Amino acid sequence: MSQLVNTPYAELTEGSQARVTHRVTELDLILFAEVSGDVNPVHLDEDFAAATPFKGRIAHGMFSGALISAAIACELPGPGSIYIGQELSFMRPVKLGDEITVELEVLEKLPKNRVRIATRVFNQDGKKVVDGVATVMAPTEKVSVPRPQLPAVRLE
């Protein structure tokens, strides 16, 4: 079983980085719509989405935000992090099948164990799809915990 290992505040330095990659699937869009309640047809209905400027279905903008949250929680700083704030700009759409990469970079260490982290998301063509900055309270103690195994999800 793999481990989630954090980087405590004292070990963080400006320029510390992490990357996480994810391929956007049909199941991602359905589950995110179910959990969030955002059933905008631009995400779920191909015929509707084909008539939009995007010419097809796109992922929810906050799906990319959720992947940023996961990267902070699981990678940098990792387990024990507390999300305090996030600024996001959506630069271009994320489509089904896109392989997107979340890139985190510590910009600044602040008082009270807080850090400012650049949160950038790129598609498989290297084009920036999301740009932002998060403020996070970093953990103070080093931890290593088992990565939880999620149960299989079946759609009815």
The pLDDT value given to residue 1: 73
SS (H, E, C) 92-113: CCCECCCEEEEEEEEEEEECCC
Q: What is the pLDDT of residues 2-17, one digit of tens each?
A: 999 999 999 999 999 9
Q: Does the pLDDT value for residue 34 go beyond 80?
A: yes
User: What is the average pLDDT across 123-145?
Assistant: 98
Q: CA nearest 129: which of 68, 52, 83?
A: 68
| Two structure tokens written together for 122 | 């790129």
Is beta strand 17-23 parallel, antiparallel or unpaired with respect to 82-90? unpaired
Cα separations in angstroms, 130 against 31, 72, 82 = 21, 15, 21
Look at residue 153 in the predicted model and tell me its pLDDT: 77
Burial class (CB in 10 A: 0-12, 13-18, 19+), 154: exposed
The pair of structure tokens assigned to 135 is 């403020």
Residue 156 pLDDT exceeds 70: no
Mean pLDDT computed over 25-46: 96
Judge contact between 127 and 152, C-beta under 8 A.
no
Look at domain 7-143 and name its CATH class: alpha beta
Tens of pLDDT, residues 87-132: 999 999 999 999 999 999 999 999 999 999 999 999 999 999 999 9
pLDDT of residue 155: 67
- The pLDDT value recorded for residue 18 is 98
Q: What is the pLDDT of residue 111?
A: 98
